[in-house]
């Protein structure tokens, strides 16, 4: 199978399944998502033969070869898209209510009490 077909399959089949609902994720572990994507690309592009040795491709080479934004940039773009959707949403819809709601009260300081 050609690389072009592998990339198309990745972008149309694998990426949407992995990122289902990613608009709501907290990206505290961006690095883990990037590592996943690089693993996939390393499999697709394979190693390179240079000066009589097989070498693994660097992260920079993988970024250049993929010719697109990385997966974290894609997630952030989806978040912005979802934010625009929320802004246009009617006031009585539940996601909109949650988005514009102000929290009331304060939280106790310290650790939660044990029961």
**Structure token pair of residue 49:** 């033969």
Q: Which of 15-19, 24-28, 51-55, 76-80 has the lowest mean pLDDT?
A: 24-28
pTM of the complete model = 0.67
Q: How far apart are alpha carbons 50 and 112 in whole angstroms?
A: 58
State the DSSP H helix or E strand holding residue 53, giving kind and residue range, or none if neither.
strand 53-55
Q: How far apart are alpha carbons 41 and 38 in whole angstroms?
A: 5
Above 90 in pLDDT, residue 34?
no
């Amino acid at each position: 199978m050609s690389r072009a077909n592998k990339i198309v399959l990745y972008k149309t089949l694998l990426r949407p399944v992995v990122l289902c609902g990613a608009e709501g994720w907290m990206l505290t572990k961006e690095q883990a998502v990037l590592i996943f994507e690089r693993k996939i690309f390393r499999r697709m592009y394979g190693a390179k033969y240079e000066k009589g040795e097989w070498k693994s491709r660097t992260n920079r080479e993988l970024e250049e070869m993929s010719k697109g934004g990385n997966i974290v940039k894609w997630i952030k773009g989806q978040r912005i898209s979802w934010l625009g959707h929320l802004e246009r949403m009617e006031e009585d819809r539940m996601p909109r209510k949650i988005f514009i709601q102000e929290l009331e009260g304060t939280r106790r300081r310290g650790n939660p009490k044990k029961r």
